[in-house]
Amino acid sequence: MKPARFALTIDRLCHQLIENHDTFQDTCIIGIQPRGVALADRIHQRLMAITGVPKIEYGKLDITFYRDDFRQREKPLRASVTEMDFIVEDKHVILVDDVLYTGRTVQAAMTSLQHYGRPQKVELLALIDRRFNRDLPIKADYIGMQVDALDEAYVKVEWLKPDGKDQVLLFPHKEN
């Protein structure tokens, strides 16, 4: 995916969100650490620019301690910072991640979200949806692009910030 197409996709996702959430009064955007945050940052900024709403609640959620594969990995994962300075009670939550793959990250994020209250509704936005690789009955409400790839392939989203240019890369195997 090239930078121009990339910007277009982000804009489309933003407009889809605006269709459903209007002024974002009871809506909050939550990026899943670490890689969903870059996308959530971008979406959050674009939304404010397009709608002119001065403040849209925005949080970063780390789900490392909620993962179901702890102790099945070679090494424990490093946690990132959680920045949630609001409670999601009765709010509309939009979870944001870059790649929706097995669905396990999203499941962990939903478990972790319970600790911040009972949201009215939770939606999922993913830039890339690897629709044939799901382990759990989870599907995204807003999708940037669908990628049909084999199980062993690895999809990586690169961003202007912090690590390089905006692009989506598909590798035949996971790099080490």
Partner 1 sequence: MSAQQLSTKHLLGIKYLTEADLHLIFETADNFKEVINRPIKKVPSLRDITVANMFFENSTRTRISFELAEKRLSADIVNFSASASSVKKGETLLDTVNNVLSMKVDMVVMRHPAPGAPQFLSKHIDANIINAGDGTHEHPTQALLDAFSIREQLGDFQGKNIAIFGDITHSRVALSNIFCLKKLGANVRVCGPPTLIPKYLPQLGVEVAYDVRKTLEWCDVANVLRIQLERQDIKYFPSLREYSQYFGIDKELLDSLNKKVIIMHPGPINRGVELTSDVADSEHSIILQQVENGVAVRMAILYLLAGRK
Interface residue list for partner 1 (CB under 8 A): 62, 64-67, 70-71, 73-76, 78-82, 87, 111-112, 114-116
Token readout for 175 is 């790099």
Q: Is 132 buried (19+), middle (13-18) or exposed (0-12) by CB count in 10 A?
A: exposed
In this complex, which beta carbon is closest to partner 1, that of residue 79 or of residue 150?
A: 79
H-assigned helices in 52-162 = 104-113
Q: How far is the CB of 133 from partner 1 (least distance, A)?
A: 24
In this complex, which beta carbon is closest to partner 1, that of residue 31 or of residue 144?
A: 31
Q: How far is the CB of 61 from partner 1 (least distance, A)?
A: 11
User: Strands (DSSP E) along 81-120, which ranges?
Assistant: 92-100
Q: How far is the CB of 57 from partner 1 (least distance, A)?
A: 17
Q: How far is the CB of 132 from partner 1 (least distance, A)?
A: 29
Q: Show Cβ contacts of residue 116 under 8 Å, excluding neighbours closer than 6 positions.
A: 84, 86, 87, 88, 89
